[in-house]
Every structure is written in structure tokens, then in C-alpha cells.
Structure 1
Amino acid sequence: MPRANKRACVASRQPSAGAAADANPRGGDRGLLSVRRAATSRQPRSRQADDDDGTWFPDEIILFIFASFLDLADLVRCAATCRRWRRLVSSEAAFICRNRTPQWPGNDRFLPPVVAGFFHQRDDEEPRFLSTPAACRRFPALGAPPPLSALVEDGSSVDLDSCRIVASRNGLLVAELRRGKNNRALKLCVCNPMSGERHVLPPLSGKDGVGHYACTVLTADECQHDDGTSSITPPSLSSFRVVVVYSRRTFTATRRYSSADGSWGAEAKVDDAHVGKKAMGLMRNGVVARGGRVAYWLAGETVFGMHLDTLVATSPMKVPWSEEREVLDSDNSTLLGTTRKGKLFAVQLRRPFRVELGKRIETIELSVLTLSNNGAGYAGYGGAYVGRIAKWEEKFKIRVDQFLPDGALTTKVKLQWFCEKSGLVFFNVSGWYVGDPGQRRSDVYALSFGTRSIQKVATNGGGKIYGYEMDQAAYLASLSH
């Protein structure tokens, strides 16, 4: 793909991200970026002379270089170099990201700072946002955990008090507005908690209604393919597509919503798919691999994938299993993930044991496994799948129990969410603590694939957890201070 034309880039330069957000009526006074602007608006701004970097290049030339030749990690390093570059990266984040040459497959570096935190939901309560310790330093004005409705714009047609999050990727949340037990009408809302924007999608009702389904969302930077071509040119940085997969009586179907068109596309059949209603109801935690070309979901012990460009299903694969190791929680012991190069892997919690002086000592271990081949042979799953038996190879493992507090009596561990860009895995550890046997806790921890370390991020965080990563423009804009 040819580099962006300098004259075109300079001519198309728009107002800064902060100015654009302030001028945008959709959620202008809401969102995490608004919280940050409110916290820093009283701070004196540096004068232009104070951020001189010693070069004679005008801002337009530097922005052209930023947008044409640097990936996200490079831009972060540039922002840390001097005041002028930090000002350009943060204030012109939207321009840089809109004109940036696609870097996928790029390098294999994860960026933990893009994680703002996670949304936590108990039973039928509204999801509430909890920031990580690192994000708290970036957003100091974020006090008590706000509900989702406080971060997105008001709308009489949206009731987020009883919503259910079904997807979270690249700064966007997809929430299902509650429906009755026998109601097949599907109403989704796409929210950007950073900017405060929200989009209510037209409902799928009547003959278009669906039962159990799987869902994911694709953002503008995933419209570009790894060979430099693009099947769809995104009209703006905020464009997105929602993909829904569900079961019909005799086939597996899919539909797509495009923000550019403002409507759902026609229902299409997924070729080579054998997904029953039971398995569809088990699907969770979708990930997108190969630069937006393939989406994967986990259903019980089976991985289901769909090529998003051809609507052909991948061969269903069984997740790794080890008979000599006791899995902690069969429903929450495995997550799917992707490397920064778009390769699929699995994360699994296990409880191996060792014998010392005739005494059995149990440990808690997290293993990361990748596919070593395409597998051989087939296996069924509950009468719903006929899946390929894939061969998984363990890349590394880490002991979880060594990061837990002394005296922790762990009873259950649940893998909750994998964050694709940062390489963080959120999981719950439930149990009691020696010295305080009457208190049962469910703390939230995060494993970083970049550092292969585990950190506690929240206390008493039971329920469901949905990791939230900032989109690229919001992340770069947050580097201003």
C-alpha cells in the first residue's frame, strides 16, 4: 500500500482530538477523557517556546512522519522524548490514527498501558467501571467506580441499568439491552466510555429475531488487511462493524451492522458450520485474529471460528486438556487469546500437585498454549460439534499461588477476560484468609504476558468482569500529562 501523500495528509488535518471531542455534542461532557480534561483544565499550559525540540521541522512534517512510519509503541516513545512531540502526539491523536499506515502484523509487543480497567457486573446490576492502579494515576479525578450510564450520553431510548455486556474491544463496548425470557428481539447498544458516545442499533425482531448468539465488534483500524488492501474504506476513525452469529433451524447464520450504513445487512449462511443451539448458548469471550479476518469464540471445550471475509467456518478445535491435572473450574478455566501478530492461543488454569516428604502439596498454575499443527482426527461435543482434535504446545506457565497473599485458602479461580492489545488476563481468586476465617473474598488479579507477572487490581470483585482497553486515539490523547 503506498505511503500517505504528505500534501493530502496536511490538507486533511482536522482540529485536535480534544477540540473535536469538545465540539461533538454526543457525550461531550461524559466519558473518561472528559473526566481527564476536567481534572487538568485548570493546569497551566506550556508555552510554544517551552516545548522546542531543537529541530526546524514544522508540525505538519513531524505529524506526517508520525502518521506514516511509526507504530503505536513508537508513538508512545516519541511522546516521552520531549514536550513538543508529546503535545503533537496527544493533541493530534485523531489525525495521526486516521492517516496512519496499518502496522499489522507488525511486531509482537503488547502495550499494557492501553488497559483503562474493567467493567464489573453482579447479577442484574448495572455494569460499573473499575480502573487499574496505573489508570488511576492517569485519571486522578475518577473517584468511586461510576456506572456505565454515567460515562455515555443520555438517551431516552437507552436503559443501561439492566444491560448485559456482550463484547469489549478497542475502546468499544457492545451491550445488550435486557429482553424477556421468551423475547427473541435483540437490541444492542455500542458505547465508547472514553468519549461518551453511544449508538443504539436497530432491533432485530420478528422473523429477524435471534435466540442464543455470539457477538464481536470490529473497529476502523481492522478494516485494513495484512496485505495492505482494504475491503471497506472506513469513513471515519469512529466507524465500526458489529458481527452477530446465531443458529437457525437448519444452518448457522450471521448478520453484520455497519455504522457507515446505519443498518443491518442481510442474513447470510456460515458455510461449513455445525453449531447447535446448545453450543451457541455456551459461546463466550470472542477474540479477533489475523488483523480482523477471523473471529473465534469458545463454547465449552470447543473453539469455533469464522472467516469474516468469506463467511466460512474454521474447523472446530478442542481446547487443551490434561488428565493428570485437575482443572479448577471447567466453565471458567480456559480463555482464548491472540498474539500481537494475530496468532491464536489458549490460556488455561490448572491445579497440579507435587509430593514432598509424603505430603501432597497443591499449586495453582496458568499455562499458555499455542497450536503446533492443524490436528488430526475428529471428536464430537454434546452432539453439537464435530471438531478437529488439535495439538497444543505449551509455551510457558506461571504459578499463580506464589502471587497470592500469605494465608490465602483458595477455593475457586475463574478466568474472566483477555485483553488483546495489552496482553492482560483478568481472573478472580475466591477464598478465605487465615486469621480472618469469617470473611470470604473474591479478588481480581491481572496477568501481564509482557512481564509474565501477576498483580492484584481489585478487592471483592465477584461477578462478571469485562476488560476494557482504550482505542488508539484515546490512548494517545491521554498522554498529554
Structure 2
Amino acid sequence: MSLPEDMVREVLARVKDEGDLFTCAGTCRRWSFLAADVRRRRWPYHPSSFLSGFLIAKSSARSLFPMPASVFGRDRRLLRSFFHDAVGSLLKRATPLAARHGLLLMRLPSSRALLQLAVCNLLVGTCDVLPPLESGWRYHDSGYAIFTKADCSSTGKQQPSSSSPRGYSALFKVLVICGNRDHQPFTLHAFSYCDGTWNTPTETVFDPTKLGICGPLMHRNAVVCHGTAHWLVGWDHLCPSDSRLHTIDVDAKTSQVSLTKIVSPIRQNLHIYDEPQLSVSANGILSLIYMERPGNNWQGFQLEICTRKDDERSEGDGPVTWLYSRVVELKPPNQIQAERLHLTFLGEKGGTVVVRDNYMNFYIADLETGVMEKLKYHGHVSRQMFIPFEIYWPTF
């Protein structure tokens, strides 16, 4: 006998952790609607996604490392364990590149002249191999993005399509923006799920060397906000307030590329401890997060959060105003000798920040309270290797 709807809702309302609530949502369609309703009532201002784990983009770590109370359990899981034997074998030597809304973009083993990508759904256990892409560049110096149909919808809701590949009705487009260390202009490749092909490569109209932008993209996995993918370029740690900081922006519908100069509001005397991170705030605004340590003790470890004024749209390489939003002081666990720590900012997703200390221990911190929790030892991981994996509530 099935339980009455109000009784099920009452049971779900007593589930304290958001990850556990998401696990309950996978019971059946009826429970998924009820769990989503409970989640909206309890966390009305939280993002639609929450960090459930992370991946490390290197050949020796093809695993998902779960967060505490993750829907995937407590211990790390090999990626091939999410799929049946044939797909698992296909991904045995694959490298994770980007993730969005429970989907994972993987690079499959291939020749140097080709880039073979696949989009995987870890919740469903399916994998969609894309046509090979000719490449004369190194994949690890490039940027990647996954667009869903919600990114191109004015309502932000998924619209299934019978023409989409199996298991991927939510997918719309995959982007690869190719960079290199020779400071040449970036080149954009876009795979459309409507057409089933890669488009003709588009060379960007701006020359990074003329703007003083050197080196590859600062992060491989794009930050997607309001139907636009963003990559950060041009950071100079010696002069953090310098105007060479830009975002490369690609529109989901048109694949049009633009460059936006960031007029940073950070103070001249601010001691930036690590390069900034792009993020999306709980209310859906593009944000920059800086890590600051002005003093010689732990009290200086803070996150300075700036948000973009979305009512100002740039044209060409014109600047967009960014404003100070708030400051969050990081609060380490009591047993940690905080004064001896040096932190590296790895990433943020759904209001959870992940940092690594000089002893290669990982910590998560709540972006509202700054309270930190120590995770397991994961070795040396750079920001370029770190890929946060989010669970997206509207999927249900």
C-alpha cells in the first residue's frame, strides 16, 4: 500500500542533508516531485545545484571523489563503475575535461591529430561519443563547456526533443575553445546536437598579445551563466588590480565569441593570495572570488566576493562594472594548526568552496559561513586539474 502524499512529504521534510534528499528523489517520479518541493521550501535561496563530488583531470585518477553526504556514497568511485562493461572499458583510459548538471565531458584515447570526446551521464549510466575533431593543439591548454537546452531557454526549463541523441534530451551544444602557449588567437569549435556535427572552426577576432594577455586559459571548465560560457584570462599576480583581466564569452544559441574587460573593484593594497575564480552566485549572477591573506596569521584568510552588474552589457572589449558583494572569513577545524597552512583555491560550486593546503589535504568551506571541513588526502592537484561535479535539481 502506498503512503499518502502528505505523509511522504512529512518524511522527506525530516531529511536534514540536501544530498540525502536528492537520493530520496531517485526512488520514483512521485517522490522526485515531492522531494523537489521540500527542497524549494527549505532552501528557497540556494542554487539549483549542489556539489556532490569532484574529479581530477589526470591520467592516474579516473575516479569521482565524493563530498560528505554525497549521493554517490562516502568513498571514491572509479568512473567505469557508473556504466556497463562496454562503456566502462571505453572510458578506462579517458580523461575528464568538464562537467555540468550531472553530465561529464571526457577525452577518449586518440591520435595527436584528433580529439575524441564523449559526454557521459553518471546518474543514468549512458555515454554519447561525439564525432572526432581534428586538432593541432594540446587539449590541456584549451577550454570546454557543456550547454543544456535550459541554457538557451528563456524559462530556464529543460525541453525534451525527439531529435536529440538517446538519453540526452537536455543537451544542446558542446564547446571547445583552443588555446596554446604561443599566444596565438583562440579558436572555437562547437558541436550542435541539433545538427550532429562540429561547426566550421571560428577564429576569435581579438589578439591576446595586443591586450597583454599571456598564457593559456585560467580554468578549463567553463562557468555558464544566463546562456553564456565564460573563461577567465589575463591574471597577473604581481598587479592584481591591473585591467588585463578579461573573460572570453561564448553565447549558447549563436556561438558568438566576445571579450569582456573586467574593471576589478579590489583595493590596491589588497594582498591577493591566489588567482581569482569565476563563479555563479545563488541568485544567478556572475561573480569573482578572490582569496586574501593580508597578514601573517590565519585571520587574514578571507574570500573577497565581487559580482557583475548584469544591467550593464559590454560591447566588444568594453569594461563591465563589478561591485564588492561581501567578505567571508575562512574558519578552519579546531584541531588544525591554521597558522602553518598555505591554501590553494581549487574551485567553487553551489555555495561550496574547495581548497588544498600545503600538506595536500583538501577542505570544503561553506560560502555563507566560511566554516571549513577537512577531507581526505588527495595529493598534488592544481586548479587546472580540478573539476567540480554538481547535482542539478531541475533534472528531476
Normalised by the size of structure 2, how large is the TM-score?
0.73
Distance 1:455 1:166 in 2: 27
What's 1:442 paired with?
A: 360
Q: Give a deviation string over 1:390-445, Cα, whole Å, max 9, x none.
A: 543221112225446342344431221222xx222222122xxxxxxxxxx32222
Is 1:174 the counterpart of 2:102 in the alignment?
A: no
What's 1:344 paired with?
A: 286
What's 1:115 paired with?
A: 51
Distance 1:263 1:457 in 2: 44
Q: Is the 8 A contact 2:279 2:288 kept in 1?
A: yes
What's 2:352 paired with?
A: 424
Distance 1:456 1:54 in 2: 35
Q: Give the alignment partner of residue 199 of structure 1, picking from 116, 128, 132.
A: 128
Structure 2 counterparts to residues 122-271 of structure 1, below 5 A: 124-135=59-70, 138-139=71-72, 142=73, 144-155=75-86, 159-177=90-108, 183-205=112-134, 209-211=136-138, 212-226=141-155, 235=164, 238-239=168-169, 240=171, 241-246=173-178, 252-270=186-204
Q: Is the 8 A contact 1:429 1:444 kept in 2?
A: yes
Structure 2 counterparts to residues 351-366 of structure 1, below 5 A: 351-353=293-295, 363-366=300-303
The percent identity for this pair of structures is 18
Is 1:306 the counterpart of 2:253 in the alignment?
A: no
Instruction: Sort the Cα spacing of 1:366 and 1:179 in 2 relative to 1 into closer, same or farther, 3 A.
Output: farther
Measured after TM superposition, the shift of residue 169 of structure 1 is 0.9
Instruction: Sort the Cα spacing of 1:95 and 1:308 in 2 relative to 1 into closer, same or farther, 3 A.
Output: same
Measured after TM superposition, the shift of residue 129 of structure 1 is 1.6
What's 1:458 paired with?
A: 375
Amino acid paired to 2:60: E
Q: Give the alignment partner of residue 389 of structure 2, picking from 443, 451, 468.
A: 468
Distance 1:317 1:232 in 2: 37
What's 1:91 paired with?
A: 28
Distance 1:393 1:280 in 2: 26
Q: Is the 8 A contact 2:184 2:207 kept in 1?
A: no
Distance 1:145 1:257 in 2: 31
What's 2:231 paired with?
A: 297
What's 2:269 paired with?
A: 324
Q: Give a deviation string over 1:322-344, Cα, whole Å, max 9, x none.
A: 44232223xxx321011244321
Distance 2:197 2:45 in 1: 35
Q: Is the 8 A contact 1:186 1:210 kept in 2?
A: no
Instruction: Sort the Cα spacing of 1:412 and 1:160 in 2 relative to 1 into closer, same or farther, 3 A.
Output: farther
Secondary structure of the corresponding residue to residue 447 of structure 1: strand
Distance 1:229 1:88 in 2: 18
Measured after TM superposition, the shift of residue 126 of structure 1 is 2.6
Distance 2:158 2:352 in 1: 30
Distance 1:404 1:318 in 2: 38
Is 1:396 the counterpart of 2:314 in the alignment?
A: no
Instruction: Sort the Cα spacing of 1:222 and 1:307 in 2 relative to 1 into closer, same or farther, 3 A.
Output: closer
Measured after TM superposition, the shift of residue 172 of structure 1 is 0.8
Structure of greater Rg: 1
What's 2:18 paired with?
A: none
Is 1:52 the counterpart of 2:4 in the alignment?
A: yes
Secondary structure of the corresponding residue to residue 298 of structure 1: strand
Q: Give a deviation string over 1:284-331, Cα, whole Å, max 9, x none.
A: 3411111xx2110112423222223330414232656544232223xx
Q: Is the 8 A contact 2:185 2:206 kept in 1?
A: yes
Distance 2:77 2:148 in 1: 25
Amino acid paired to 2:108: L
Q: Is the 8 A contact 1:371 1:392 kept in 2?
A: yes
Structure 2 counterparts to residues 53-92 of structure 1, below 5 A: 53=5, 80=12, 90-92=27-29
Distance 2:298 2:101 in 1: 41
Q: Is the 8 A contact 2:188 2:201 kept in 1?
A: yes
Secondary structure of the corresponding residue to residue 165 of structure 1: strand
Normalised by the size of structure 1, how large is the TM-score?
0.61
Unaligned runs of 5+ residues in structure 1 are 1-46, 56-75, 97-102, 355-359, 378-385, 431-440, 477-481
Q: Give a deviation string over 1:77-125, Cα, whole Å, max 9, x none.
A: 7882599xx98984127997xxxxxx9xxx743257x43222245x531
Amino acid paired to 1:344: L
Q: Is the 8 A contact 1:317 1:387 kept in 2?
A: no
